[in-house]
A and B are shown apart, each in its own frame.
Chain A
Amino acid sequence: MTGQELTLDDLTTALQQSAGQANTDNLDGSVLDVTFEDLGYDSVALLETCGRIEREQGIQLDDCTVEDAKTPRALLILINEQLAEDTAA
């Protein structure tokens, strides 16, 4: 699915499959700006989730920039930038 944007739904699915249920039941649009920490996902959970997204999307994310993405919105921007870059290349 290269060329398509990753949505919040895609991200939350990947989070749950990689790292299990979050602290909150609903990972809908309202969690876009909630920090991963508050959602109950620590740095290893994010590492695991990003590993899954990398495999599924065929992209490579920089571990250091991933660490700076504290919310779903920030991480989605990062992933989609990478996806766009790969499509353009």
Chain B
Amino acid sequence: MSTPVVVTGIGVAAPNGLGAAEYWSATCRGKSGIGEVSRFDARGYPARLAGEVPGFAAEEHLPGRMIPQTDRMTQLALVAADWALADAGVRPKEWPEFDIAVVTASSSGGFEFGQHELQKLWSKGGRHVSAYQSFAWFYAVNTGQISIRNGLRGPSGVVISDQAGGLDAVAQARRQIRQGCALVVAGGVDASICSWGWVAQLTSGRLSTSDDPDRAYLPFDAAAAGHVPGEGGALVILETAGAAIKRGARIYGEIAGYGSTFDPRPGSGREPGLQRAIQLALDDAGLAPGEIDVVYADAAAVPELDRIEAAAIGAVFGVRGVPVTAPKTMTGRLCSGAASLDLVAALLSMRDGLIPPTTNTSPAPDYGLDLVLTDPRSLPVQAALVLARGYGGFNSAIALRRAGSAQLGKKDPG
């Protein structure tokens, strides 16, 4: 059996809560972070609602040198990484620099920063473009800046697969741990709520044009008509169960299984890949469908995609065969940050025996889903499944197992 890899630290920046504690408390209470776009004037655009991270002042968390050279998504990521490392009780300076790696997901890079510099380029000329543009807007910048700030020089990288990236980064981190890396900072934090990023996201045709925060993002509802975009995400700390136990770290849960697939060409008539991703993740984890206590859905809120997801869940777990939830109804879809945030929520579900609700949705009965609605559901959670799909055909699934479960390593340190 492969070495169990576990999560020992989490850091969160979400539209309904800054920090893991605030996010989790808001999420279990059904508190939404969706509102009118405030970061730019979106009144002339088809979509006007977003999930924005509230009360985040980068200068309160980061040295002054970091501010002029970072996009908002990098500032959020740097702070989430600080929190995750602190939560894991890891002080990077005390570790050999090549022992810790960083693997993040990205979907667009630092768009807001890039937009400002391109505006300078076209209005004032090339000499006015910031030298920091050379890296502040590219995909790998969060990984690079987290690495530089903390002196982490292990095998690092970035994965690009839209929403699926939030899981794919964690899976890549697990590979690195199994190949001998001691610790990895992994996950996704994204933000592109600026007019340029907005236009880019609109091209998907999947953004909700509703002005009502409570009616704009309704996955699995007969009235589903797209999603609300958001910013933020989560980073986690991974290491082997053995290493975590040895240093007495708290274990949130095991990254027990992973599967990823790619959808067939549209119109080919072949099956979508999501169900296969679920089966791969369960097989990898050695878990039977009946052992999964909750599924965190991708929850696209596009009727065709909702149908595909409900069918995949139904085929594996049976009609209304497993509790399903989509707390991203309170945050919007966070690009590469979405699935990492769901992964954290699933870990906290296991810790607290509590499944947060899917808000606002009235599920269409023909989907056959046991959707957790309105109030959190109290339920011991030994294992959870997180699903994510990325625009362009990416499907990923991660199965999590609770710390202290019989199969995990030897024993929970507590």
- A3 interface residue, CB < 8 Å from B? no
Interface string of B60-73 (1 = CB under 8 A from A): 00011111110000
- B45 interface residue, CB < 8 Å from A? no
> How many angstroms between the C-alpha atoms of A55 and B130 in the bound complex?
12
Known A44-B132, A44-B134, A48-B132: A18·B127 in contact at CB below 8 Å: no
**B68 to A51, Cβ gap below 8 A?**
no
- B406 interface residue, CB < 8 Å from A? no
**B128 to A21, Cβ gap below 8 A?**
no
Interface footprint category on B = 10 to 19
CB neighbours (8 Å) of A16 from chain B are 64
- B1 interface residue, CB < 8 Å from A? no
**A19 to B68, Cβ gap below 8 A?**
yes
Whose C-beta in chain B lies nearest to the C-beta of A19? Answer: B68
> How many angstroms between the C-alpha atoms of A45 and B136 in the bound complex?
13
Interface centre among A16, A23, A44 (most CB of B within 10 A): A44
**A55 to B65, Cβ gap below 8 A?**
no
Taking a contact as CB atoms closer than 8 A, the residue among A20, A22, A40, A48 that contacts B131 in the complex is A48
| Residues 30-49 (chain A) with a chain B CB within 8 angstroms | 40-41, 44-45, 47-48
- A5 interface residue, CB < 8 Å from B? no
**B128 to A55, Cβ gap below 8 A?**
yes
- A67 interface residue, CB < 8 Å from B? no
Closest CB-CB distance, A40 to chain B, in whole Å? 6
**B130 to A45, Cβ gap below 8 A?**
no
Closest CB-CB distance, B367 to chain A, in whole Å? 51
**A44 to B128, Cβ gap below 8 A?**
no
Interface string of B23-65 (1 = CB under 8 A from A): 0000000000000000000000000000000000000000111
CB neighbours (8 Å) of A22 from chain B are 64-65
> How many angstroms between the C-alpha atoms of A47 and B135 in the bound complex?
13
Taking a contact as CB atoms closer than 8 A, the residue among A20, A47, A51, A54 that contacts B65 in the complex is A20
CB neighbours (8 Å) of A48 from chain B are 68, 130-132
CB neighbours (8 Å) of A23 from chain B are 65
Closest CB-CB distance, A57 to chain B, in whole Å? 12
Known A51-B127, A54-B127, A55-B127: A18·B134 in contact at CB below 8 Å: no
CB neighbours (8 Å) of B131 from chain A are 44-45, 47-48, 51
| Residues 346-364 (chain B) with a chain A CB within 8 angstroms | none
> How many angstroms between the C-alpha atoms of A19 and B66 in the bound complex?
8
Closest CB-CB distance, A41 to chain B, in whole Å? 8
> How many angstroms between the C-alpha atoms of A12 and B58 in the bound complex?
22
CB neighbours (8 Å) of A45 from chain B are 65, 69, 131
CB neighbours (8 Å) of A19 from chain B are 65, 68-69
Closest CB-CB distance, A79 to chain B, in whole Å? 16
> How many angstroms between the C-alpha atoms of A87 and B320 in the bound complex?
81
**A20 to B63, Cβ gap below 8 A?**
yes
**B134 to A20, Cβ gap below 8 A?**
no
**A21 to B65, Cβ gap below 8 A?**
yes
> How many angstroms between the C-alpha atoms of A19 and B65 in the bound complex?
6
CB neighbours (8 Å) of B128 from chain A are 51, 55
> How many angstroms between the C-alpha atoms of A54 and B128 in the bound complex?
10
> How many angstroms between the C-alpha atoms of A38 and B135 in the bound complex?
22
Closest CB-CB distance, A27 to chain B, in whole Å? 12
CB neighbours (8 Å) of A55 from chain B are 127-128
CB neighbours (8 Å) of A54 from chain B are 127
Interface centre among A16, A18, A19, A54 (most CB of B within 10 A): A19
Chain B residues with a Cβ under 8 A of chain A: 63-69, 127-128, 130-132, 134-135
Chosen A-B contacts, 29 in total, with CB atoms closer than 8 Å, are: A16-B64, A19-B68, A19-B69, A20-B63, A20-B64, A20-B65, A20-B66, A20-B67, A20-B68, A20-B69, A21-B64, A21-B65, A22-B65, A23-B65, A40-B65, A41-B65, A44-B69, A44-B131, A44-B132, A44-B134, A45-B131, A47-B131, A48-B68, A48-B130, A48-B132, A51-B130, A51-B131, A55-B127, A55-B128
Chain A residues with a Cβ under 8 A of chain B: 16, 18-23, 40-41, 44-45, 47-48, 51, 54-55
Q: Besides the contacts A45-B69, A51-B130, what 15 more A-B pairs have beta carbons closer than 8 Å?
A: A18-B68, A20-B66, A20-B67, A20-B68, A21-B64, A21-B65, A22-B65, A40-B65, A44-B131, A47-B131, A48-B68, A48-B131, A51-B128, A51-B131, A55-B128
Q: Considering the complex of A and B, which 7 residue pairs feature the smallest CB-CB distances, nearest first?
A: A21-B64, A20-B64, A48-B131, A47-B131, A20-B65, A20-B68, A44-B131
